[in-house]
Amino acid sequence: MKLLFKLLALNCAIFFISCSGESSSESEVKQVKDDFSYLVVNSTGKINKIGNKTGAISTYSAFNGFNTSAFLDLNTVTSNSNKIFLIEYLSTDKLFVFDKNTNLTTSNNLVYPSALTGLDPALISLQWNDSNNLLFGILKSNKDDSKSICYFVTINPTTFEVIYTGISFNQKSSFSTFINGNKFYSSCYNDNTIEINLENNTSKPLFFNSSNTPISFTRSAISTNNILYGMKGLVGNINGVSLFKFDLLNNTYTDILPNEVYGLNSVFGKGFIDNSKNQYVIISNLNNKSGILKYNISSNSTEFVDINEDSNMVIIEKISN
């Protein structure tokens, strides 16, 4: 009988050890792992990686020589396949160029053409244009005066030469910019969106849904030709934004999931389209938490991944872990 009890006890021990091993294995399987990371630039000029599923933030690099006490308008952050660009503003504008292949930074003060007059000129937007390998910029003639004139300029990223295109317009500021075909756009809070036609060198206000009422939006990103996604300011909610899409072909907009209200630590900057996932992605706030907002265009659904850091940053691209 004693021998029988010993055998039963031994079998139970083996069973529990086996079960314990299976639970550990199952736990490891359920552990969240990132498929890739988003490359982001924050308001102090640091370049970080954020895991797409965990939201874990790790250091990637930085713009060497960037003064962290300088003002960085996130709408002056832009990139191409090889480089990231931004503008440091202290007493003058300085263009920084970060090479993704070498991790080296070059920079130079920008000299504006004498034809551009202004007491305190400053670039308020920067956008890379693949078609001619130039940077597009909006220069505010006086950065502290919302009524001052805006100039549309191009910048050579190699020589740092600034050329005035001859296009000027009135806009209080520039929240977000994007390019669609041969047209360049700039949005602003409580002001008109400006459309610049690069072929005939003209600019005009852009109206939506046959209304002359300005629509405030930011974090804009082109998904396909003529379809734009972004975050629209909400009437009566000064800190609230919601998803929308614009059809630039017929100048109509559609609210997306209007009951989902988010926040932004900075209203300046561009959005990001993940073409492989068919998602519009930005860094935003939800219920006082910072995180990655992913809107799935195909399923018309959202996902929010918490991150443990200030959300004052913009997504540049996605990279492997």
Only one residue has tokens 């086996």, namely 18
Residue ranges of domains in the chain, CATH in brackets = 35-319 (2.120.10.30)
CB neighbour list of residue 200: distance below 8 Å, 6 or more residues apart? none
- In angstroms, the CA 215 to CA 232 distance is 7
Following DSSP, what letter does each residue of 252-280 receive, concatenated? EEEESSTT--BB-S-S----EEETTTTEE
Q: Residue 275 corresponds to which amino acid? A: N
- In angstroms, the CA 109 to CA 88 distance is 9
Q: Residue 9: its pLDDT value, please? A: 39
CB neighbour list of residue 59: distance below 8 Å, 6 or more residues apart? 46, 48, 49
Among positive and negative, which fits the CA dihedral 174, 50, 306, 254? positive
Helices (H), the chain: 2-30
- In angstroms, the CA 256 to CA 208 distance is 16
Q: How many CB atoms lie within 10 A of CB 37?
A: 22
DSSP state, 120?
B
Q: Residue 145: its pLDDT value, please? A: 93
CA-closest candidate to residue 80, choices 104, 57, 98? 98
- In angstroms, the CA 252 to CA 207 distance is 9
State the first-to-last Cα distance of the chain, in angstroms, to the nearest integer. Answer: 59
pTM metric for this prediction = 0.87
Q: Residue 128 corresponds to which amino acid? A: W
DSSP state, 170?
-
Helices (H), 203-252: none
Phi, psi of 151 (to 5 degrees): -115, 140
Only one residue has tokens 């910048």, namely 155
The CB-based long-range contact list for 23-30 (8 Å cut-off, 24+ gap) reads none
Q: Could you tell me the CA-to-CA distances from 300 to 240, 249, 262, 306 in Å, in that order?
A: 20, 21, 16, 20
Q: Residue 235: its pLDDT value, please? A: 73
Tell me the sheet residues that pair with 229: 221, 245
Residue segments in the chain with a per-residue pLDDT below the cut of 50: 1-29
Q: Residue 69: its pLDDT value, please? A: 86
- In angstroms, the CA 168 to CA 1 distance is 99
CA-closest candidate to residue 116, choices 133, 100, 93, 85? 93
- In angstroms, the CA 96 to CA 174 distance is 20
